[in-house]
Amino acid sequence: MDESIRTELASVAAAVISQGVDAQDNARGLRDLTSQIAQQPAVARLWELLEADPFYGSYRHPGVVRVVGMNHPPYSTLHLAAWAIARATKVGADQTFAELQHHATRAPYRVTATLALADLHVEHAAEMADGIRVIPFTPDDYRGPQPRRDANGAKIRYSDNDSTFHITAALQLDLDHPWSEIPQGKGLEIVVNQALLRQTFDRLRVAKQCLELMRPSFIDEVGQYLAQAQSVPCAPPPPHGPGWRAIDRGDSVTLTPTELTEARELHSAYLRLSADARARLRIPIRRLESSLVERARGRNPEADVDSAIDLGIAVESLLMTDHESDELAYKFALRGAHLLGGADEAKRVTYFDIFTNLYDIRSKAVHRAKLPERLRRKIPGEDVAGSLKKGYGIAAQAIREMILQGVPDLDVMVLGKRTKGS
């Protein structure tokens, strides 16, 4: 790259600073800056040098500069000059020139994946496993696809449940996006690696599920997107991700620093499990999550029935194997009692009653499409609704136990040896 670009960039950036122009390096700021500098002779030399560059010269072709995001207006070398000037006013001409050089080598570029969440509250940023962090987040922090706007530019508010007003936290992961391009007219188009996109957000959702297990409550995803680092030379396009969506309001959850530390340990333990063990836990985790979703959608008989069915499937899939059909309720309760009660006989008796009631609630919900009127095994001060509510915590506790201690041989856990034919 011609060293003259560095010299001209330093000169123009200094002039912009001296004129008091606010060189914002966001999309709107760059459009404003572009219109201001296009008429300035001092920019012409920088513009010409960029167009003469073997790599950046392709920017003069319509529709060729798309980094990470999609479906945005094409950029030109004038837009690139505006980006470089705005960047140089903040980090200096030398660093900006180095970033231009790095990008021109088609090296991987840094992006941040964000999964925005509703009604999860964390006081400070905290590290999860796998390079993921959970952070406090607000609608103003969100850079993904935005809600619709009215003629005056105001966000359209559909209802009190509009997710615009409920973003409270986010999971984020920094990663290097490989260079990927396809021909576009006479230039090129830099595109998103879709396989990497899916894998990245699957990783973030595993972390979200571990957070849900700490204080069993549905944590809704408001939106997701990839955004490139500010050091990537281009006018920043809209980040790539699906549109903003409405949410199912659940209970607000506030995790303490201690719980976040435990969530990180749980996340680490889950990632250390074998592929077979993770596959075994996939259904319980997803069914518990869907049970919590039904609970969040509304407290009415239909939602409660659906929630009970999913909760029953979650716990049953933890404690039963697919070849068993006899005495299911007894085995279900016995195994749950040993898993969570351990060597303490009194605790095993208590958990046996709890799991017996959960199985009965689930069975009535499946076969009669309604909840039972009373508990099968009486527990002082507890009714059907209370037992169902307790079940969310019991299911999460059982899943955490299997993640942290490993998935046990269910027969050996109860009998101390493998039964014949198992």
310's tokens: 């999913």
Q: Are residues 100 and 113 in the same domain?
A: no
Task: Judge if 243 and 158 occupy the same domain.
Answer: yes
| 353 and 215 within one domain | no
User: Which band of pLDDT confidence, cut at 50, 70 and 90, is reported for residue 62?
Assistant: very low
- Are 25 and 152 contained in the same domain? no
Q: Are residues 242 and 306 in the same domain?
A: no
The pLDDT of residue 106 is above 60: yes
DSSP collapsed to 3 states, 263-304: HHHHHHHHHHCCHHHHHHHHHHHHHHHHHHHHHHHCCCHHHH
What percent of the chain is modeled with pLDDT above 70?
71
Tell me, yes or no, whether 138 and 98 share the same domain: no
The answer to whether residue 261 sits within a structural domain is: no
Cβ–Cβ contacts within 10 Å for residue 67, how many? Answer: 22
Residue 156, helix vs strand vs coil? coil
Q: Clarify whether residues 295 and 177 are in a common domain.
A: no
pLDDT at position 251: 66
Q: Is residue 266 part of a domain?
A: no
* Strand, coil or helix: 315: helix
* 260 found inside a domain: no
Cβ atoms within 10 Å, residue 345: 10
Q: What pLDDT, in 10s, does the model give residues 66-78? A: 343 333 445 567 6
Measure the CA–CA gap between 369 and 419, rounded to whole angstroms: 35
Let me know if residue 134 belongs to a domain.
yes
- Residue 204: per-residue pLDDT: 96
Secondary structure letter of residue 68 according to DSSP:
S
Tell whether 79 and 159 lie within a shared domain: no
Please check whether residues 279 and 368 belong to one and the same domain. yes
Q: Report whether pLDDT(27) > 50.
A: no
Tens digit of pLDDT for each residue in 208-221? 999 999 988 888 88
Does 260 score more than 80 pLDDT?
A: yes
Residue 420 lies in a domain: no
325 assigned to some structural domain: yes
Residues spanned by the domain of 40: 4-104
For 314-331, b/e burial (b = at least 16 CB within 10 A) is bbbbbbbeeeeeeeebeb
Of 104, 129, 156, which residue is a domain's last? Answer: 104
- Whether 25 maps to a domain, the answer reads yes
Mean pLDDT of the chain: 76
Query: Do 12 and 72 fall within a single domain?
Result: yes
What per-residue confidence (pLDDT) applies to 72?
A: 44
Task: Select from 63, 88, 104 the last residue of a domain.
Answer: 104
Say which amino acid occupies 82: A
Model pLDDT, residue 188: 52
pLDDT digits (tens, 9 = 90+) for 356-394: 888 888 777 765 667 788 888 888 888 888 888 888 899
Question: Which pLDDT does position 421 carry in this prediction?
Answer: 41
Asked, for residue 16, whether it belongs to a domain, the answer is yes
Percent over 90 (pLDDT), the chain: 20
Domain count, the chain: 3
Indicate if 392 and 316 belong to the same structural domain: yes
**Which of 85, 104, 123 finishes a domain?**
104
- In this structure, the answer to whether residues 301 and 348 fall within a common structural domain is yes
